Structure 1
Amino acid sequence: MERREFLAAGGAAIADWGLRIADWSGRTSDAANPQSAIRNPQSRQEPSLSPEVFARRLDRARAELEARRFDCLIATPSTNYEYLTGYNPGRSERLIALIVPLHGAPAVVCPSFEVERIERHGAIADARGWEEQDDPYALVRDTVGRLAPRAGTIALEPSTGYQTSLRLAAALPRWKFVDAAPVTERLRIVKAPEEVALIRRAIEITQGAMTATFAQLAVGMTERDVARLLSHEMQQRGAEGGGLVQFGPSSALPHGGPAAAALERETVVLIDCGCRVGGYESDITRTVWFGDRPADEFHKVFNVVHDAQSAAIELGRPGTPCQDMDRAARKVIAAAGYGSFFTHRLGHGLGMDGHEPPYLVEGNALRLEPGMVFTDEPGIYQLGKFGVRIEDDCVMTEKGVEILSQRASKL
């Protein structure tokens, strides 16, 4: 079996990469023991963080409401709902709504048969049930009236469905509804130490799974075969995940694969993947050469992409505009003559969602702050030939960019 013929893997032997991952086992954040806030990161049914974490989040939500002169926040099941409660019960035709007043304790309106589930798995003690024959929006109206007796402004979670939004507005005609995105984005964009700790765990699992997957590549495997193997390796390490697997010309599609293409010698293999630990995501891309010796053009393109990634890392400091990070990487690629082949933004925020603010893209003048977690993933994509993307996960610190994942070396 030709199982290890890919070892021109971004300039670093896979065995060495794995050893470096193992070295992270005792690594923690600069904050005092963020692990103490983590309860059960692998559970799908219980909050992975302590009750104190959710109490602080609700306090911060109220502070954001007050700063914007909003009186109440309503969120239906979503990532933002989960951020505030520790649990996402999922959306259906039956209304579930979290109500956070400016003053006082929050409540959840839900079907009566869901009350026990909501209270057991989430951080909100007050769940108010409606019966199947009842109007759930009437219960929302009554609950808002009790928690926030004077009508004002409700910030509505931005992913709430259109029909739900209309029915909430009809049930609360004296209230003004506004988009809650400024509130929820501000809450989530800067990660607390316990959040970064969970992202680190997800990264460790992802890189371990990638190492094991690359080591098992063999001629004749399909992209789907490798994708299944990758997911299995993540499951073996205690996390659910997977990703894109692309061979040869398919690697020139930023979001291509997996398909039935079979692996051949002397070709490019691109894997973009991540997993979820305690509600937090990782997102890493590696591009390797499967064969004896990388083609000269692959060698050149890989190093240009690596230099572009380095340029953004070296530039990044607290206060750096997001668009400047993109510009720094793009300048390197353009100078090498590949500017038109870098077809997407440099990166995106990473946390409970795989893609979330901040976005490292031209036109985004938002300034990076300590605690922001984001990807740095420049790429060059030549249709009909091959593509190279290198993606690492980073956190902004007081001193600059800290790379959370183990970077590939230059060729």
Structure 2
Amino acid sequence: MTTVSSDLYPVTRLAAAREATGAAGLDALLLTPGPDLRYVTGYDALPLERLTCLVLPAEGEAFMMVPRLELPAAEHSPASRLGVEFVPWDETDDPYALVAARLGATRRVGLADRMWAMQSLRLRDALPGAEQMLAGTVLRGLRMRKSPAEVAALRGAGAAIDAVHAQVPEFLRAGRTEREIGKDIADAIIAAGHATVDFVIVGSGPNGASPHHDLSDRVVREGEPVVVDIGGQMPDGYCSDSTRVYVVGEPPAEFVKYYDVLQRAQQAACDAVRPGVPCEDIDAAAREVIAAEGYGEYFIHRTGHGIGLEVHEEPYIIEGNTEPLAPGFAFSVEPGIYLPGTHGARIEDIVVCTEEGGERLNHRPRELVVV
């Protein structure tokens, strides 16, 4: 059986998801491979065109439809601890019809948020009387509030990505391309204990003004700021994400000026974290500092996003989100300032709301790092 922490993926999640399903007025959840299925069962199933689907009725016994060739993997996964019946299907079977036959009459079902359209449409045809909803509306309350084991997993992910940022100055120098630097960083992410590299952003000079730049063959030049935003998924499924800014040589004076503003904005947002504070207030705390210094129009994205089994999940730290923070909420705090065609900067830490306030899970220096 795959080694997995019973605290990280407790068997009680199945019952909690069932209760939430009934409370939401749904007859069942239908969870295909992806973060929803992994959250409820611990099973990191392969996303295939062949249907793997946990069927979790609000009333009645849960079962998992599994392609017969995937049955050994399912039986050796953490899902085997749940007492859920595995229902294998053969290549000539119609698994959607089998789901419908076993589930019976339904009025409303919740589909995994990341379910392929091909599968959702086939399920719609197999269950023509059932209104389809997003399973995320049922699971969001559970997934947002991280357990102590989940926080520990995110803490480990944060330490791993911090270890990579500690090495970045070794990779950065004038004359190297973003792509060359990015390859070294990607290798370091795996070496630091991640199972996968989710993204490597190396934005040098004007490319730093594009928040989701990625990599290019542009050569880093002396005196240029470089935005490095990196993250991956750990073997336990939980994700890392952190951004720091570096400069090769003497930084431009204008950049130094607004980088100081950015530091103060990020600190203000982190200081505002505590239970009961609306998510939008964390966004406002950062945005007010930046706007007061005349850079408001250059802060072009939300202040943060939730993180867990996905790099981006709820809650989102943005104006209009009045959801009050609660202990266990984990999210990024990452204000940015971007001057088009010139340069940009972003400082990002993962923060967990605690009973007392907020705990940062990233600990690399937030000052501008001169290489």
TM-score by length of 1: 0.83
Letter aligned with residue 95 of structure 2: P
Give runs of ≥4 in structure 1 deviating > 6 Å: none
Gaps of 5+ in 2: none
Shift of 1:132: 1.0
SS of 1:281's partner is coil
Letter aligned with residue 187 of structure 1: L
After the TM superposition, which residues 229-244 of structure 1 pair with which residues of structure 2 at under 5 Å, given as runs? 229-239=184-194, 240-241=196-197, 242-244=199-201
- Residues 403 and 109 (structure 1), Cα distance of their counterparts in 2 relative to 1, 3 Å cut: same
1:207-246 C-alpha deviation (Å, 9 max, x unpaired): 1112112233222111011111011112222223251011
Alpha-carbon separation, structure 2, partners of 1:114 and 1:375: 36
The residue aligned with 2:212 is 255
The residue aligned with 1:228 is 183
The residue aligned with 1:39 is none
Instruction: Check conservation: 2:9, 2:40, Cα contact below 8 A.
Output: no
Shift of 1:295: 2.6
Letter aligned with residue 352 of structure 2: V
Letter aligned with residue 307 of structure 2: L
SS of 1:115's partner is helix
Alpha-carbon separation, structure 2, partners of 1:118 and 1:165: 22
Alpha-carbon separation, structure 1, partners of 2:324 and 2:7: 31
Q: 1:134 aligns with which of 93, 96, 117?
A: 93
The residue aligned with 2:70 is 114
Gaps of 5+ in 1: 1-44
The residue aligned with 2:261 is 304
1:38-78 C-alpha deviation (Å, 9 max, x unpaired): xxxxxxx9363227833121121012112223232111112
After the TM superposition, which residues 178-197 of structure 1 pair with which residues of structure 2 at under 5 Å, given as runs? 178-197=133-152
The residue aligned with 1:123 is 79
Letter aligned with residue 179 of structure 1: L
Q: 1:85 aligns with which of 41, 61, 64?
A: 41
Instruction: Check conservation: 1:373, 1:395, Cα contact below 8 A.
Output: yes
Letter aligned with residue 178 of structure 2: E
Letter aligned with residue 322 of structure 1: C
Letter aligned with residue 94 of structure 2: D
Report whether the alignment pairs 1:358 with 2:358: no
Alpha-carbon separation, structure 2, partners of 1:48 and 1:122: 7
Instruction: Check conservation: 1:392, 1:407, Cα contact below 8 A.
Output: no
Letter aligned with residue 365 of structure 1: T
Letter aligned with residue 326 of structure 2: E
- Residues 179 and 233 (structure 1), Cα distance of their counterparts in 2 relative to 1, 3 Å cut: closer
Report whether the alignment pairs 1:209 with 2:167: no
The residue aligned with 1:280 is 238
Letter aligned with residue 146 of structure 2: K
Letter aligned with residue 42 of structure 2: G
Shift of 1:122: 3.7
Higher mean C-alpha deviation, range 169-178 or range 113-122:
169-178
- Residues 115 and 208 (structure 1), Cα distance of their counterparts in 2 relative to 1, 3 Å cut: same
**Overall identity of the aligned pairs, in %:** 38
TM-score by length of 2: 0.92
1:109-131 C-alpha deviation (Å, 9 max, x unpaired): 12122211111124145211111
Shift of 1:163: 3.5
The residue aligned with 1:65 is 21
SS of 1:246's partner is strand
SS of 1:53's partner is coil
The residue aligned with 2:53 is 97
Shift of 1:104: 4.6
Shift of 1:160: 2.3
Shift of 1:407: 5.0
- Residues 164 and 410 (structure 1), Cα distance of their counterparts in 2 relative to 1, 3 Å cut: closer
SS of 2:228's partner is strand
Shift of 1:366: 1.1
Instruction: Check conservation: 1:46, 1:86, Cα contact below 8 A.
Output: no
Instruction: Check conservation: 2:334, 2:347, Cα contact below 8 A.
Output: yes
Number of residue pairs aligned between Structure 1 and Structure 2 = 362
SS of 1:50's partner is coil
- Residues 295 and 176 (structure 1), Cα distance of their counterparts in 2 relative to 1, 3 Å cut: closer
Alpha-carbon separation, structure 2, partners of 1:105 and 1:202: 35
- Residues 94 and 51 (structure 1), Cα distance of their counterparts in 2 relative to 1, 3 Å cut: farther
SS of 2:141's partner is helix
Q: 1:405 aligns with which of 349, 362, 366?
A: 362
Q: 1:336 aligns with which of 264, 284, 293?
A: 293
Instruction: Check conservation: 1:326, 1:360, Cα contact below 8 A.
Output: yes
Q: Give the number of the structure with larger relative contact order, counting CA–CA contacts within 8 Å between residues 6 or more apart.
A: 1
Alpha-carbon separation, structure 1, partners of 2:79 and 2:295: 50
- Residues 168 and 86 (structure 1), Cα distance of their counterparts in 2 relative to 1, 3 Å cut: same
The residue aligned with 1:4 is none
After the TM superposition, which residues 29-44 of structure 1 pair with which residues of structure 2 at under 5 Å, given as runs? none
1:260-297 C-alpha deviation (Å, 9 max, x unpaired): 11122211111000121110111100012211x33321
Alpha-carbon separation, structure 2, partners of 1:138 and 1:270: 50
Alpha-carbon separation, structure 2, partners of 1:294 and 1:119: 56
Instruction: Check conservation: 1:205, 1:275, Cα contact below 8 A.
Output: no
